[in-house]
Every structure is written in structure tokens, then in C-alpha cells.
Amino acid sequence: MRSFFSYGCGTGRWKDEIDVRKLGVDMLSFAAHKIYGPKGVGALYVRKGLKLQPLIHGGGQEKGLRSGTENIAGIVGFGKACELASANIVGRIENYEKLRSILVMELSVRVQDMRINTPLDKSLGNTLNVGFAGVPADALVVRLDLDGVCVSGGSACLGLSKTSHVLKAMEVPLEYLFSSIRISLGIHTTEDEIHRSVEKIAGNVMQIREC
């Protein structure tokens, strides 16, 4: 018997090809804003033959599964976003992997006592989680924001927390547990932006360690 789970598209980018048959999923959820579509609209794949009980009753919209007026403009925008995203998905994946490789290489050269938490061979190519020993993540995030470099100290889904349960489960050493940030690449990210970001990250890490 297959278990129920959803497969989110991740951190705001169209990053991988999905085949529900290969995944063997019962349900698959998508959010439009993850592929540069409008916020407030999504889609749900439901395996044929799977019976769902509605939580919102009333007008019988969505084939009786979720009553309420549909967000037509959002749905159309989501459809267009899917069309644009799927047009060159292979090229985007390759570009993400190329840019992330540059990011990892330059950080490794510029910053000491750094740990790559992301398993590079088993992860989406546009995201990198990296820790800097002795550097509080929240302090680094604020400094980088002032320098025009946007990174995250944790999951946007869970909000702010003292430690990441994911990093704990990965048995990330304590000195990196509170000092890890997430760096995400987008379709507009350039190599020049990677170089500049590494420069700002390296500079701020050094300054914080000297405090």
C-alpha cells in the first residue's frame, strides 16, 4: 500500500521534471508561486481511483471537493507559468547546476571552517545549505541583506526557529547547526551575481568572526 505524501516544487523555482508514475505517488501538490506564477493558487494531482472527502462544502465547485468561487485569474496565470517553465526545463536544470558548482567552488576557496550541508549528488541543483563555524546565521543573514544579498536562515515554511530539525536529522555538527544559511538560485541569477555574493559572504563571515 502506498503512503500519501505531497511533493512540493521547493524554493521558488521550476527545477526538476516530475513523473507521477515513476514517483508512485497518490497525491502531488503544486504552488504557482514556486514557478514564478501568481500567489494564492495551486494544483493537486490525485491518483485515479483515490477517494477524497471534501473539507469545504457548499456550491460543489472543484467536482464537489472544494466549494467556493475559483480564482480564475490565478488559474490562468498558473497555466501560463507552467507553459513557460516547461519550455526549457532541461536548460534551466543544467544552468542551476553550473551556477551552484561555481558557488560551492568559490566559497570553498574563500572561506575556512565551512561545511556544505547539502548532499550535492542527491539534491535540487538550485539550492545550497552551507554552515560557517562561529558565525550565527541570523547575524549573517542581516548583514548580507544590507549588502543586497538575500539568503535565508531557515525554511520559509516553518518560519524562524532556533535550530533546523532537518539539519539535526542529518547529524550536522553543533558548531554548524546554528550557523547554516540557505542560498537559492533563480532563473535570472548570473555568474557575476554569484561572484559578488561570494565576496560579500566571505567578507561578512570574516568580520563576524573577528568581533
**Which sequence positions are flagged as catalytic?**
157
Q: Which whole-number Å values give the CA distances from 67 to 43, 44, 87, 96, in the listed order?
A: 15, 15, 33, 39
What is the maximum alpha-carbon separation in the chain? 63
Residue type, 76: V
Gyration radius (Cα) of the chain, Å: 20
Alpha-carbon span 145 to 130, nearest angstrom: 17
Alpha-carbon span 109 to 14, nearest angstrom: 29
- 56 bridge partner residues: 66
Alpha-carbon span 99 to 188, nearest angstrom: 11
- The DSSP symbol for 163 reads S
For every residue of 127-140, DSSP letters joined together read EEEEEETT--HHHH
